[in-house]
């Protein structure tokens, strides 16, 4: 371990790519997502990739809040679930309307005649979109203020946020009007577009891809900004920041809220792309699983979380079907090995290998300037005594 910072591994604070590399990166990502992927992938695979992109959107937010802000957001399933269920309710209502039914199909099977009052606002697409965009953030602001202002942090925060996701999952299971443990599924249209039409499904994929690019751009700006520097300062020495005149709670709330908003948006995109949302997508296990890709990719880098999330989701979907048990072992092993022994994720692997051959980082050789006070020849005055 480094002798300088016991709290953080001895590695350089990863810089955010500059404008040129960023421009090139975005162009490349756009080509891959909008031209290459639809050309080479089957409709089914494209839909799968779309689902991974949703996880990547969640991961980008976690990278900001956890990697840069030090808040272990173990409960992102809560916000993901909020966005997802709100969207799912709207889609169910819209489907019922298209078919001319009074209530969504699963309700009429259960013998329900009228749409419950709390469902009704979500018949409106505008309300739905507003709630998807604003509600997770609003809940995060409220919760963040309550928790961070009282200096609940570290493990306490992690456990509380995890309990929150567990609470949502438990609550949903008990809600027959949300499909209970089966969840909500079988969506036919998406804002008027027929979801069985491959062209529309492709459009949906493009929306997810575009959203991911926007999300990455937002995170990049936040990381590069003064706020991003302050966030790292709060992560490393929260109490110290207070004595410089900042309230660290506000700093943390911003990152937490951004991460929550991203998770909500991802949830809302997940629903039409995947076609189902159930309590098992929002509880403790999926919430922690969001973190593994982030940890593998490099939690405090810009692209690490995004690429890590996509990679892990891809590995899971290709392995878990044929070797379900092996996949669980692999997932467990990844948590143990990456978090335990490579906390910087794969992004730090290059650095770790490079450092092997070289002496530790040192102050540049030139002598530091003397304090100016020594150079200016002050008239030497005896202290009055």
Site for other proteins in 143-162 (CB under 8 A): 143, 146-147, 150-152, 154-156, 158-160, 162
Cβ atoms of 240 and 14 within 8 Å: the answer is no
Q: Is 178 in the site for other proteins (CB under 8 A)?
A: no
What's the gap between Cα 6 and its chain centre?
27
Q: Which of residues 284-303 bind other proteins (CB under 8 A)?
A: 284, 288, 291-292, 295
Quote the least distance from Cβ 41 to other proteins, whole Å: 30
For other proteins, give the closer residue by CB, 18 or 100: 18
For other proteins, give the closer residue by CB, 25 or 343: 343
Quote the least distance from Cβ 112 to other proteins, whole Å: 18
Angle between helices 198-224 and 43-62 (to 10 degrees): 20
What's the gap between Cα 65 and its chain centre?
8
Question: Of 113, 354, 356, 381, which lies in the binding site for other proteins, with binding defined by CB under 8 A?
Answer: 381
Q: Is 364 in the site for other proteins (CB under 8 A)?
A: yes
Q: Which of residues 243-262 bind other proteins (CB under 8 A)?
A: 243-247
For other proteins, give the closer residue by CB, 96 or 295: 295
Strand segments, DSSP code E, in 276-322 are 276-277
Radius of gyration of the chain (CA): 24
Q: How far apart are CA 297 and CA 52, in angstroms?
A: 14
Q: Is 233 in the site for other proteins (CB under 8 A)?
A: yes
Q: Is 321 in the site for other proteins (CB under 8 A)?
A: no
Question: Of 174, 198, 350, 351, which lies in the binding site for other proteins, with binding defined by CB under 8 A?
Answer: 174
Question: Rounded to a whole number, what is the distance in angstroms from the first to the last CA of the chain?
Answer: 50
Q: Facing residues of 282 across strands?
A: none
Q: Please, what's the largest Cα pairwise distance for the chain? A: 96
Question: Of 13, 44, 191, 323, which lies in the binding site for other proteins, with binding defined by CB under 8 A?
Answer: 13
For other proteins, give the closer residue by CB, 332 or 351: 332
Q: How many chain residues are in contact with other proteins, going by CB under 8 A?
A: 93
Q: Is 224 in the site for other proteins (CB under 8 A)?
A: yes
User: Does residue 203 come out as left (phi exceeding 0), alpha (psi in the -120 to 50 range) or beta?
Assistant: alpha
Quote the least distance from Cβ 4 to other proteins, whole Å: 4
Q: Which of residues 25-64 bind other proteins (CB under 8 A)?
A: none
Quote the least distance from Cβ 96 to other proteins, whole Å: 26
**Residue 3, SS3?**
coil
For other proteins, give the closer residue by CB, 117 or 366: 366
6 token code pair: 């016991």
Cβ atoms of 278 and 87 within 8 Å: the answer is no
Q: Is 139 in the site for other proteins (CB under 8 A)?
A: no
Cβ atoms of 268 and 57 within 8 Å: the answer is no
Determine the interface stretch with other proteins among 86-94, 130-138, 207-215, 376-384 (rule: CB under 8 A): 376-384
Of 34, 42, 84, 91, the C-alpha closest to 198 is 42
Q: Which of residues 202-221 bind other proteins (CB under 8 A)?
A: 221
Question: Of 170, 197, 203, 351, which lies in the binding site for other proteins, with binding defined by CB under 8 A?
Answer: 170
Q: Is 116 in the site for other proteins (CB under 8 A)?
A: no
353 token code pair: 């290998």
Distances (CA, A) of 24 to 31, 33, 34: 11, 14, 15
Backbone angles phi, psi at 199, to 5 degrees: -60, -40
């Amino acid at each position: 371990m480094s002798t300088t910072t016991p709290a953080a591994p001895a590695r350089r604070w990863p810089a955010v790519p500059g404008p040129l590399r960023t421009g090139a990166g975005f162009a490349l990502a756009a080509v891959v997502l909008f031209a290459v992927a639809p050309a080479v992938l089957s409709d089914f695979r494209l839909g799968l990739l779309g689902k991974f992109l949703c996880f990547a959107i969640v991961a980008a937010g976690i990278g900001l809040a956890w990697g840069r802000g030090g808040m272990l957001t173990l409960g992102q399933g809560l916000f993901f679930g909020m966005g997802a269920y709100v969207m799912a309710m709207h889609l169910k209502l819209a489907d019922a309307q298209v078919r001319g039914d009074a209530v969504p199909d699963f309700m009429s099977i259960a013998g329900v005649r009228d749409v419950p009052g709390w469902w009704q606002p979500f018949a409106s697409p505008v309300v739905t979109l507003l709630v998807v965009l604003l509600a997770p953030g609003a809940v995060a602001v409220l919760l963040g203020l309550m928790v961070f202002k009282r200096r609940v942090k570290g493990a306490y925060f992690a456990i509380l946020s995890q309990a929150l996701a567990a609470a949502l999952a438990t609550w949903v299971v008990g809600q027959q009007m949300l499909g209970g443990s089966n969840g909500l599924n079988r969506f036919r249209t998406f804002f008027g577009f027929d979801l069985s039409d491959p062209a529309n499904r492709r459009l949906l994929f493009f929306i997810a891809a575009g959203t991911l690019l926007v999300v990455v751009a937002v995170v990049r700006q936040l990381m590069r900004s003064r706020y991003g520097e302050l966030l790292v300062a709060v992560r490393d020495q929260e109490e110290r920041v207070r004595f410089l005149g900042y309230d660290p709670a506000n700093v943390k709330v911003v990152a937490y809220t951004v991460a929550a908003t991203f998770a909500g948006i991802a949830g809302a995109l997940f629903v039409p792309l995947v076609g189902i949302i159930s309590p098992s997508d929002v509880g403790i296990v999926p919430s922690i699983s969001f973190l593994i890709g982030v940890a593998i990719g490099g939690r405090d880098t810009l692209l690490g979380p995004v690429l890590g999330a996509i990679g892990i989701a891809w590995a899971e979907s290709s392995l878990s079907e044929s070797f379900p048990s092996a996949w669980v072992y692999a997932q467990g092993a990844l948590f143990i090995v990456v978090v335990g022994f490579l906390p910087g994720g794969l992004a730090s692997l290059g650095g770790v290998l490079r450092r092997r051959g070289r002496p530790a980082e040192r102050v540049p050789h030139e002598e530091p300037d003397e304090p100016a006070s020594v150079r200016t020849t002050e008239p030497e005055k005896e202290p009055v005594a």
